[in-house]
């Protein structure tokens, strides 16, 4: 990740635009999955913004991550409709099943759990979205049993792809 080729178009477009730091950080995280120390230093050099200021912004906003996430990012909705319909029980089942808490990644690097305020799928409550490089999948009307089944299916699907590719 040290050449930052993928980041060049972002910095070319926004690097000298006042007030665009959050946009640069969002797009950097979209490209690399998180904001590494090296990426922040690269942004600092390219924009002239002090690294300390960039760190301040990156650590202030909850949307930014300073460490890599798993292959699958589980976004567990904690909005009102989901809360009322048992989101805390679903989160508990995920934590027990995967051995992680909100903001943590499984030791094998497969899953990261991230609680979010609302996914906008209230009619499916409780709901979670699973993000991966292949896209986003939304799962609704969750129960403690079916969330474990879903996670097992996602994990096995990933292992099947790796086996087919000889990884």
Question: 3-class secondary structure for 123-158?
Answer: HHCCCEEEEECCEEEEECCCCHHHHHHHHHHHHHHH
Instruction: Choose the final residue of a domain: 60, 86, 106.
Output: 60
Per-residue model confidence (pLDDT) at position 158: 67
Give the closest residue to 108 by CA, choosing from 72, 66, 137, 134: 72
**Pair 50, 99 in one domain:** no
| Tens digit of each residue's pLDDT (9 = 90 or more) over 109-142 | 999 999 999 999 999 999 999 999 889 999 999 9
pTM confidence score: 0.75
Residues spanned by the domain of 134: 72-164
- Domain count along the chain: 2
Average pLDDT over residues 42-61: 96
51 and 86 together in one domain: no
Q: pLDDT class for 33, splitting at 50, 70, 90?
A: confident
Q: Are residues 77 and 147 in the same domain?
A: yes
Query: What's the pLDDT tens digit per position in 11-21?
Result: 999 999 999 99
pLDDT mean over 54-78: 93
- Say yes or no: 79 and 159 in one domain: yes
């Amino acid at each position: 990740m040290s050449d930052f080729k993928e980041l060049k178009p972002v910095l070319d477009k926004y690097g000298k635009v006042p007030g665009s730091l959050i946009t640069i950080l969002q797009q950097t995280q979209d490209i690399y999955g998180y904001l590494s120390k090296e990426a922040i230093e690269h942004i600092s050099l390219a924009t002239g913004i002090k690294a300390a200021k960039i760190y301040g912004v990156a650590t202030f906003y909850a949307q930014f991550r300073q460490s890599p996430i798993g292959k699958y990012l589980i976004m567990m909705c904690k909005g009102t409709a989901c809360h009322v319909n048992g989101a805390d029980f679903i989160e508990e089942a995920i934590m027990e099943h995967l051995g992680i808490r909100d903001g943590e990644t499984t030791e094998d690097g497969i899953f990261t759990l991230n609680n979010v305020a609302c996914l906008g799928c209230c009619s499916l409550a409780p709901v979670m979205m699973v993000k991966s490089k292949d896209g986003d999948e939304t799962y609704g009307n969750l129960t403690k049993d079916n969330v474990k089944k879903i996670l097992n299916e996602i994990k096995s699907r990933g292992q099947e792809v790796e086996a087919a590719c000889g990884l």
